[in-house]
Structure 1
Amino acid sequence: MPSFKSMLILLVTVMPVLAPGTDAQAQSAAGTTITPFEIAIPEQAITDLHRRLEMARLPAQIPDTGWEYGTNSQYLKELVEYWRNEFDWRQQEEELNAFDQYMTIIDGVAIHFIHQRSSNPDATPLMITHGWPGSIAEFRHIIGPLTEPQNYGGNAEDAFHVIAPSLPGFGFSGAPQERGYNPERMAQTLAALMQRLGYERYGLQGGDWGAIINRIHADQFAEHVIGLHSNFVLASPPEDPAVRDAATEAEMTARTARQAYMANEVGYQQIQGTKPQTLGVGLNDSPAGLAAWIVEKFHGWSDIDQQSVHGLDAKFSKDDMLTDISLYWFTASITSSARIYYESRHVAMQEPLGYVDVPTAGAIFPKEIYLTPRRWAEEQYNIVRWTPMPRGGHFAAMEEPELLLEDIRAFYRSLR
């Protein structure tokens, strides 16, 4: 019997539909197909998940410890019990299926994406790109306000047509079957997707790997990109000492503090960047293990009370976190998604990163895993907007959606 993901890939060749605004004859001549997609996890997969959760064998924990050794066992036990007994996947599935979703094949890989068009025909096309351990589920609370802002207390003029792809190897997209699928190749895939959808000019937004991929996208396809909005601005220290020293004292204090904190937070990068296949055996077989691996990142990278066992509950609902984790589980994509770390380390870019001429905005959340001083960023990006946020961390679309939304709107409003 074929796997669930292989059945998804086979469905791509059925029921072709053209994206609005795409020339039918041109698409047919190019041999491309865009297929409607609906999430429909088989009931047997849900039953199997519950069985595995019921059989979970969780480790003991040293008394009077919190999260300092890793995922807190008390919190994980409660999360696993909630996942097994209270979490309603069908409800989350229904909410995700409220968005228009499609599949297409680019560079030999099936690409899943949300394409939610605004009722405003003059809306700005905007690709929003997730990272790891994120997914399209990160964006489900901001897609509505982005596409129909007037329904959420905003202005119709700030509307976007939203394109939210699942990165190759993530979620419902196919897993590359060859070496070398690094962030550069993903950027080229996403640029091809926008062309296939008929968008000649569009904006980009993202964090984590999404921000890295978008930077490459904006660099290599600048003629198509209106603006680059990032909540994860990375830039190397400038070679010029005068520019390096131009960072403010507050910026350097914050950067140094985050570097010190992250020194104990990068174990996942080492194993995913060297032996993702070994790690994947356990995470692909144990939903409790998968939950522990991912929820520890929510805990460690967010603006919460990290001394509290239940600090996460102040910012994230269990339903939101488990929807993201469930997407990794049901699609068996944790191993293929982790390979982005390996490919990034081992496959050199064909075109070295250049200065990003595209107008760029940085939304700087204080508990982001890495912080870059503005003056350093200006050496590598055309920074036209820089917003130090009052609170928030790595998962901005989930943790502080209103702050992120307002900054996206304000930035693209300034470019109109």
Structure 2
Amino acid sequence: MTETITKQQSNVKPTDKTAIRPFQVNVPEEEISELKRRINATRWPERETVSDQSQGTQLGTIQELARYWADEYDWRKIESRINSFPHFITEIDGLDFHFLHVRSKHENAMPILIAHGWPGSIIEQMKLIEPLTNPTEYGGNESDAFHVVIPSMPGYGFFGKPTTTGWNPKRIARAYGELMTRLGYTQFVAQGGDWGSIVVNFMGVQESKGLIGIHTNMPEVIPSDVDAAIWSGNPLPSGLSDEEKKVCEQVRENKSAYAFQMGTRPQTLTGLVDSPVGLASFMIDHDWKSHALIARSFAGVKEGLTRDDVLDNITLFWFTNTAISAARLYWENTVAGISFFAVKGVKLPVAVSVFPDEMYEAPKSWTEKAYPNLIHYNKLPKGGHFAAWEQPEFITSELRTAFKSLR
């Protein structure tokens, strides 16, 4: 953790490692000035030789991002927003474990752990906090209330950076389960997208103590033989429906170059911790639909994510110097041999929300087989991979509906 930009407020003795210590963010002004200096000092490449994003982040998009970042963006706004929620640090499995914990004023609220992914952070889910904890002010009823826990991922944001190997999604799942136990929750649910989905799926497989159900907006439903064929480029198994074939095409068309690089050679990405514009260019080149959405936001189109949304998250990565430590999760996953989208074997109750611009649209045929205790399945009219961030109203509604039967 970058100690110069954080502050822990606690009266506990430093040796009490399992104590839960309050925490706030405070980036020194000189760090903000240095960021702007580096942005303005960027050495630019030539323009791409194609008219689309097939060669990656387009020069026009990243130059407009850099201009706005250096001239108009205000980090203090999101810093104030971050600090408006209660944050904490506790040590779990040898690492400083950062999380938000916002309890509802409603006595019978359901505890929920919400897990983010890459290139996300706790910022990705903060739009959900108030609607979930205070539903009567956001179109819901008292019976819809949740106590919300949002942990960072190891090596991300204000979480400690692993110095040894082994922090793969299965280990993170166990640590998240330990966190909920430490907070005193005897029953809770969990939600996730991207890496968060993989982690909460493993929490379901492990049947973390007190976990009674999970929700995912990136369901892992692809049969193992189909998954192997997708990634190897081999012919697909016979007998697939048109909807199932479409899933395979959607996964293949995203290429996932970022995942391959981080999954095999994360330490090589040193340039991401030296150049803020290099970091931004890499982070926004995720799946092509999210990339297109972000590009439109910097072209002046108000849709889903705003320019500030995008830069809030990238700037958090920059100030915490976590580009490499976050990337190593992909390497850990590769070493562990864990598939992104293949069936994991969850037997607990599962709720699934399918967004049209997700990396693939999970068909109900595969979803029902992957999750034999499926309690909710719904296709939404709008939204993509970063659903909680982009379409918080939909996710809020889905969570209220999905877990109603488990209350």
TM normalised by structure 1 equals 0.87
| Aligned: 1:252 with 2:237 | no
Contact 2:353–2:380 (8 Å) recurs in 1: yes
Distance (whole Å) between structure 1 residues aligned to residue 125 and residue 297 of structure 2: 27
Asked whether the 8 Å contact 1:147–1:162 carries over to 2, the reply is yes
Name the residue aligned to 2:231.
none
Give the deviation of 1:45 after TM superposition. Answer: 1.1
Q: Is the 8 A contact 1:303 1:391 kept in 2?
A: no
- Structure 2 residue aligned with 1:58: 44
User: Closer, same or farther in 2 for the Cα pair 1:204/1:239, shift >3 Å?
Assistant: same
> Which one of 14, 18, 21 corresponds to residue 35 of structure 1?
21
Give the corresponding residue for 2:2. Answer: 5
For the structure 1 residues 388 and 259, does the alpha-carbon distance in structure 2 shift closer, same or farther, using more than 3 Å as the test?
same
Tell me, in whole angstroms, the C-alpha distance in 2 between the residues paired with 1:306 and 1:257. 23
Change beyond 3 A, Cα 1:223–1:308: closer
How many correspondences in the alignment? 392
Distance 2:262 2:110 in 1: 36
Report the 3-state secondary structure (helix = DSSP H, G, I; strand = E; otherwise coil) of the residue aligned with 2:258. helix
Structure 1: distance between partners of 2:346 and 2:399: 18
- Distance change (3 Å), C-alpha of 1:248 and 1:137: same
321-330 vs 288-297, which moves further: 288-297
Equivalents in 1 of 2:347, 2:24: separation in Å? 38
Paired residue secondary structure (1:142): helix
Quote the offset at 1:68 in angstroms. Answer: 2.2
- Partners of 1:31 and 1:259 lie apart in 2 by 42
The 8 Å contact of residues 301 and 369 in structure 1, kept in 2 or not, is answered as no
Q: Does 1:368 align with 2:368?
A: no
- How far apart are the structure 2 equivalents of 1:415 and 1:246? 36
Match of 2:11 among 1, 12, 15: 15
- Asked if 1:296 corresponds to 2:296, the answer is no
Equivalent residues in 2 for 1:229-268 (5 A)?
229-237=215-223, 249=242, 251-262=243-254, 265-268=255-258
Structure 1 position 224, deviation (Å): 1.4
Give aligned-pair identity as a percent: 38
Structure 2: any 5+ residue segments left out of the alignment?
A: 227-236
**CA offsets 1:392-411 (integer angstroms, 9 cap, x no match):** 11000122211111111101
Superposition CA RMSD, Å: 2.8
Q: CA deviation at 1:245?
A: 8.1
Instruction: Tell me what 2:75 maps to.
Output: 89
Matched, 1:277 2:294: no
Cα offset, 1:315, TM superposition: 2.2
Question: What is the aligned partner in structure 1 of residue 404 from structure 2?
Answer: 413
Whether the aligned pair in 2 keeps the contact of 1:102 and 1:112 (CA below 8 Å) is: yes
Contact kept in structure 2, 1:112 and 1:172, CA below 8 Å = yes
Q: Does the residue aligned with 1:314 lie in a helix, a strand or coil?
A: coil
Q: Deviations over 1:303-343 (max 9, x none)?
A: 84989983875221111110010110000011010101100
* SS of match in other structure, 2:403: helix
Distance 1:386 1:220 in 2: 22
CA distance, structure 2, for counterparts of residue 359 and residue 44 of structure 1: 49
Please say if residues 75 and 310 of structure 1, whose CA atoms lie closer than 8 Å, have aligned partners that are also in contact. yes
Structure 1 distance, partners of 2:90, 2:295, is 41
Distance 1:405 1:308, change over 3 A: closer
Alpha-carbon distance in 1 for matches of 2:297, 2:132: 34
- What's 1:384 paired with? 375
2:72 alignment partner AA = E
Q: Residue 161 of structure 1 corresponds to which residue in structure 2?
A: 147
Please give the alpha-carbon distance, in whole angstroms, between the structure 1 residues aligned to 2:75 and 2:252: 38
Q: Give 1:93 deviation, angstroms.
A: 0.4
Report the AA paired with residue 33 of structure 2: T
Tell whether the 8 Å contact from 2:289 to 2:384 is kept in structure 1 after alignment: no
Q: Amino acid of the residue matched to residue 368 of structure 1?
A: E
Q: Are the aligned partners of 1:53 and 1:287 in contact in 2 as well (CA < 8 Å)?
A: yes
- Structure 1 pair 62–272 and aligned structure 2 pair: CA distance change class (3 A): closer
| Counterpart residue number, 1:393 | 384
| Partner Cα distance (2:225, 2:240) in 1 | 13
Q: CA deviation at 1:376?
A: 2.1
Say which of 315, 325, 328 aligns to 1:339.
Answer: 328
Cα distance, 1:30 vs. partner? 8.7
Question: By how many angstroms is 1:103 displaced?
Answer: 0.6
Q: Which runs of 5+ in 1 are unaligned?
A: 18-28
Aligned equivalents of 2:262, 2:49: Cα separation in 1: 30
Partner of 1:133: 119
Equivalences for 1:184-223 in 2 at 5 Å?
A: 184-223=170-209
Partner of 2:393: 402
Structure 1 partner of 2:130? 144
Query: In the alignment, which of 124, 129, 152 is matched to residue 110 of structure 2?
Result: 124
Question: How much has 1:256 moved relative to structure 2?
Answer: 3.5
Of residues 160, 168, 172 in structure 2, which corresponds to 1:182?
168
Letter in 1 for 2:369: E
SS in 2 for 1:358: coil
Q: C-alpha deviations, 1:359-415, integer Å up to 9, x for none? A: 101101122113433232333322121111112110001222111111111011122
Distance 1:246 1:195, change over 3 A: farther
Q: Distance in 2 between matches of 1:356 and 1:151?
A: 34
Matching residue of 2:35: 49
Q: Is the 8 A contact 2:5 2:26 kept in 1?
A: no
Q: State the Cα deviation string for residues 30-71 of structure 1 (Å, max 9, x = none).
A: 962110011111112111101101101121214662322111
The answer as to whether partners of 1:298 and 1:312 remain within 8 angstroms in 2 is no
- Structure-2 change in CA distance of 1:7 and 1:49 (3 Å): closer
